[in-house]
Chains A and B, each alone.
Chain A
């Protein structure tokens, strides 16, 4: 068990900078997820922590010791790979014990560790099988078992669920969380799936173009994104961005979306955005759940407007609606009984208490 620290870590491949100076503190026992689109440097970062890639610049510390030049085997880490990377000629038990046998652990100790890990992962009856006799989910459990028996300082997961089908992925997600609750090993987990990141992580690190966009708990990232990238990456369906600008109307600060539509801002928001020049090009960020059908009595901060729907998607517990506002497509979530129909008009309400205002040029959330 140990904390992991990255200080201005850089990875250069010839001319390309894959990772451009990352600072990250991972506390002992913490479950941190690195998430981002492909090519954002998350896997490279993980592989640098593992020691499978050299560091071009900066420092990586595990348990307080700088490990820049320490080979992977001496870093006391365990890694779970996307394609499982089980040794095909060994049984499950041999796969799990390979590292311990190399370190010449006593046989009894190896056996007890395998038994414990196999029980934890519910693969007791599989220990004598070969990997090719296992299903994808079982292979992934074995790969995790191989990490657990080592009892390392840090677990590293490299997109471990990407090869599994959707249903199994949800199941294994819960398994991973359970395992972490039991062993409490510091974990760094890489995924491109924001749902996985949100559900598993104590803290999520959103990466883009080799940099960290934002670090925070899943709720912080969802409710207080720092940039447009984070706002659009986290959450499904994604946040809507509507071009807008600020306007003073009758002594109150309004947000103008179209020639027809301008909403007065709630007092708290008005105070916060007062200093922004009225000429700035802005984006109104609204999550779909904050665009709903208008009820007769609107709560404070809710503003109603009329629109014509393009498409509706009934999901059962809710209906997703899509309409166009100033050329951009907007998604909302309404009650299935709200009467939303393809091509039909509907009166909607936006919840401005949960709005985000972004600078269109810099993408920063104001």
Chain B
């Protein structure tokens, strides 16, 4: 009713409204422009990988249009998926990632809860310290770490180097600090009254964590899980340094070491392996995307 009166009384308003919507149109055009550029940049490599993975070695080295497949073949896929070696890499990667995600969550969720909610001596310093740990790059750490594990092996006889499970110790050094940091942020956004209500209702700290904080911060936990999985799935430096035997390798390193022989690059299979390797994170993203987006917007509304 009000809009009708406004339109009748002041037709100039309509023009103003129109100019506002013109601004909006331009904003949309610019955002689409940059989104398209972004999409081209990020999609070109995987498309090129897909094209190459469908070619035979002869066609790859032939001087034809590299952006077109003249004789599509699945031989690279068949070759990889029937190779025990490649399946071994895939299996190692999967086991390592699942264990690392589990270990990370078991450590970082309670740690974040303690740092965010239980005020104890030095908790603020510790919270900052956790984040600073994450800032130290692995390129600085891998030599000292290697030395450490070697010494531990000498002293105790526990062989860690060149065993896939050494990665279960190494990856959490990357994932735990960051996931803890994410979860501190999520837990901090939960109103203080919620845990006070729980405490008055008779919940212990553990019950407050498991029955209130984890369900309420579930989107944050999903975000942290995705992060931890991606990091451990894609990690390259640590497995390259710490594992050498083919049966201990994870996929990123396995593809490089087994498909590059001297100066001979088996490009078709390398591309196929990389594509297949990118599949699990993609599938996980797709499944958890709804939760993830809910998590990103969790703080937006009150209550």
Q: Are B198 and A98 in contact (CB under 8 A)?
A: yes
With A88-B303, A89-B215, A102-B207 in contact, do A81 and B201 touch (Cβ < 8 Å)? no
Q: Which residue of the partner chain, among A78, A85, A98, contacts B193 with CB atoms under 8 Å?
A: A85
- Expressed in whole angstroms, the Cα–Cα distance for A86 and B201 within the complex equals 12
One digit per residue, 1 when the CB lies within 8 angstroms of any chain A CB and 0 when it does not, for chain B 171-195 equals: 0000000000000000000010110
Give, as a whole number of angstroms, the nearest-CB distance from A184 to chain B. 21
One digit per residue, 1 when the CB lies within 8 angstroms of any chain A CB and 0 when it does not, for chain B 59-86 equals: 0000000000000000000000000000
Q: Are B203 and A52 in contact (CB under 8 A)?
A: no
Asked if A198 lies at the interface with its beta carbon under 8 angstroms from chain B, I say no
Q: Are A72 and B303 in contact (CB under 8 A)?
A: no
Q: Are B196 and A85 in contact (CB under 8 A)?
A: yes
Q: Are B191 and A85 in contact (CB under 8 A)?
A: yes
Q: Are A83 and B191 in contact (CB under 8 A)?
A: yes
With A89-B216, A132-B303 in contact, do A73 and B196 touch (Cβ < 8 Å)? no
- Expressed in whole angstroms, the Cα–Cα distance for A52 and B199 within the complex equals 9
With A131-B303, A139-B303 in contact, do A87 and B199 touch (Cβ < 8 Å)? no
Q: Are A77 and B200 in contact (CB under 8 A)?
A: yes
Q: Determine the main DSSP class of B at the interface with A.
A: helix
One digit per residue, 1 when the CB lies within 8 angstroms of any chain B CB and 0 when it does not, for chain A 52-93 equals: 100000000000000000011100011101111111110000
Q: Are B200 and A79 in contact (CB under 8 A)?
A: yes
Asked if B197 lies at the interface with its beta carbon under 8 angstroms from chain A, I say yes
Count of chain A to chain B residue pairs whose CB atoms are closer than 8 Å in the complex: 64
Q: Are B191 and A73 in contact (CB under 8 A)?
A: no
With A87-B212, A88-B216 in contact, do A81 and B199 touch (Cβ < 8 Å)? no
B residues contacting A by CB (< 8 A) are 191, 193-194, 196-203, 207, 211-212, 215-216, 218, 301, 303
User: 7 A-B contacts, Cβ less than 8 Å apart?
Assistant: A73-B200, A77-B200, A82-B193, A83-B191, A89-B215, A102-B202, A102-B207
Which 10 residue pairs spanning A and B have beta carbons closest together?
A99-B201, A85-B193, A73-B202, A85-B197, A89-B215, A81-B193, A102-B202, A72-B200, A79-B200, A72-B199
List 19 other contacts, CB 8 Å, given A77-B200, A81-B197, A102-B201. A52-B199, A52-B200, A73-B203, A78-B200, A79-B197, A82-B193, A83-B191, A85-B196, A86-B303, A88-B216, A88-B303, A89-B215, A89-B218, A98-B201, A98-B203, A99-B200, A102-B207, A132-B301, A150-B201
